A and B are shown apart, each in its own frame.
Chain A
């Protein structure tokens, strides 16, 4: 084997190279290495925090994280952002199951409940709150009451984020829908609303209102549907008994979706647009109205020369309602010293104190000292739709439900197809029943 010398020197080179590279790596990253090899904790003074905020929300959250670091030191926080939805909650679950979860994590209120059911969260006691100067009365009662499960506080709400209606000032003015002060006239009546859609459509020459429904977007169709469904008096829950029974009112389901298809057929609502394009239609005047969560305010404000407003979705049926969820802070189950627990609470407090920054991103703060402050009340256009939070409707509790969940994915996909006119409401409901059958029939694994 005359190739041996060559091979040997190559191997020698490789070993030397790897050794040389390893030294600075090991020296510089001692924490992860020892954590990876020996399961030790990463530096004790660093709080580990996970969230799922990308885009505009992500930038704001980073600003708030920097605010925390200003108080507690540059190395006091390690924040990581994961992909929104199921991937995030899977990560949190698996990390907690493997006994190495983050110290604090963000969770949608509707996803916190299943995590609690699975024994993955620690309850937040009155003592915990008092230790950082918080109490129940500091929070908006709606999300606060919503998070109490089994008589315990399982999550500290940061905000409520309802579905809202954006409007393009220019287009709506041309459609004659603005009052003297540039606000949208009330449209809380089906006929008035449809007349408005017709008027806007005339101005744009295309759709009047855009709703994102393709490109993987299943959340928005669900939110729109859930809003209008719950505006009907006596609307029953979609799921009952933690997701083991399907109790949706089929007549109301048909009513809402037939109406949506009517709007699409009239050309008032888009047939198929993805998230980004649906939004850009509003920005460029191709549509006058846009239904989405209030968090898109940051994107809207960044478009040069674009004037817009935001209002709650008009009450087209019996009672006002807006689909919403709340972002909350949770404490995953882990072995904590009292000090670590206090540090986690301090982090939560520091975030709540910066609720104003968060509110500028469109969310309605749950922390009353900020929500009731003059500064927030003066914030435009936030003040125009803050009332939507008072009529927030959360998703039904289910072990496979909540924001970004399998339930939302299945139902949202069918609703998207209805909007695309690719499926009739009847077919879609049938498909929903079929696809949910397994989940309905399976007892909760939590």
Chain B
């Protein structure tokens, strides 16, 4: 069995305080933890705290120091700023466009692949390979494919009898869809292999039992596969949502947030405010807001995972 979530400290540790070895162990334990701990404090916990602090000041990128105290002004600004909400909406839009296909299609492909007796390596290669490519690579590939009028996408549209428009990425209505398509191609592999791993865990006998009961392959999938994979699906879903909220790379590279700001996502607003407008304090406030949204979902995920784990035992 591959998955549990957390290994809760085993019972019996309450004996440790009295044990002489425990004290010796404490020292060496902290020595073992120290290197990682230093980096953790410096580059994970520290920045988180610093981000919270800076959000209350008018910190400037080009000036040293924290700048003047701003109280909640940065938060007020962000929460009343149209482009903050629109960037949040675009982030959400991206999440909505990509999550269902990335979950469902990955599931379908994994289920089908699992039934194949030959050449599974071929399917795995085809679907998973894009996942290891850098975002810069896939963005350049897809921007080229989406070239207005003469690109491969336009060619395909013509072949299917549609008239290509002015370019998928040039129109505010379709730009995010274009980014979603590229993302689907790019990251499907991740969910795909997760589902494959989950599928291989399902005992064959369950299918055989269902088959003997007269279930068609469709019904087998519906009655056996889907329920058995519900835990994986929840996991995939939540991972997908969290990853989508942190989106930056392909949007920045494919449209730069454009046309206009019609595809600008939250992280782009944050980095734009910090590094182009030179307003680190305001950017920190926006970061905190995004951070909170993501943490909430991450907590939901941990809770859901634990609940599912408990259910299994």
Contacts and interface: CB of A to CB of B under 8 A. Distances in A.
Asked if A and B form a direct contact in the complex, defined as CB atoms under 8 angstroms apart, the reply is yes
Main secondary structure on chain B at its contact with chain A?
loop
B60 A446 contact: yes
B276 A90 contact: yes
Given A406-B276, A406-B277, A93 B62 contact: yes
A90 B275 contact: yes
Nearest to A215: B170
A154 to B, nearest CB: 15
Contacts of A274: 166, 170
Contacts of A435: 82-83
Contact of B170 (A214, A399, A442): A214
A438 interface: yes
B113 interface: no
Given A214-B166, A438-B77, A445-B58, A93 B259 contact: no
Contacts of A118: 60, 62-63, 278
A446 B279 CA distance: 9
Contacts, number: 66
A445 B61 contact: yes
Interface string B78-96: 0001110000000000000
B62 A97 contact: yes
B277 A93 contact: no
A445 B67 CA distance: 9
Interface string A432-446: 001100110111011
Given A94-B275, A400-B277, A119 B82 contact: no
A399 B58 CA distance: 15
Contacts of B167: 215
A445 B275 contact: no
B63 A119 contact: yes
Interface in B40-85: 58, 60-63, 67, 77, 81-83
Q: Which range contains the number of B residues in contact with the other chain?
A: 20 to 34
Interface residues of A, number: 29
A434 B260 CA distance: 15
Nearest to B74: A442
B63 A215 contact: no
A442 B170 CA distance: 31
Contacts of B60: 118, 445-446
A434 B60 CA distance: 24
B258 interface: yes
A413 interface: yes
B286 to A, nearest CB: 12
A351 interface: no
Contacts of A119: 62-63
A97 B282 CA distance: 18
A205 interface: no
Contacts of A93: 61-62, 275, 278
A218 B60 CA distance: 27
A446 B82 CA distance: 24
A445 B62 contact: yes
Contacts of A441: 77
A243 B258 CA distance: 24
Nearest to B59: A445
Contacts of B275: 90, 93-94
Given A93-B62, A434-B82, A445 B259 contact: no
Contact of B63 (A86, A272, A413, A445): A445
B279 A120 contact: no
Among A120, A218, A409, A446, chain B packs the most CB atoms within 10 A around the CB of A446
A309 to B, nearest CB: 30
A435 to B, nearest CB: 7
B81 A438 contact: yes
A445 B278 contact: yes
A287 B295 CA distance: 56
B170 A445 contact: no
B169 to A, nearest CB: 9
Nearest to A83: B256
A166 interface: no
A90 B256 CA distance: 14
Contacts of B278: 93, 118, 399, 445-446
A442 B279 contact: yes
A274 B276 CA distance: 25
A406 B63 CA distance: 21
Nearest to B170: A215
A399 B256 CA distance: 22
A408 B61 CA distance: 22
Given A442-B282, A446-B278, 10 more contacts: A90-B275, A93-B62, A93-B278, A118-B60, A214-B259, A274-B166, A434-B82, A442-B77, A445-B58, A445-B60
19 contacts: A93-B61, A93-B275, A94-B61, A118-B60, A118-B278, A119-B63, A214-B166, A215-B170, A216-B259, A274-B166, A400-B277, A406-B276, A409-B260, A439-B277, A445-B60, A445-B63, A445-B277, A446-B60, A446-B63
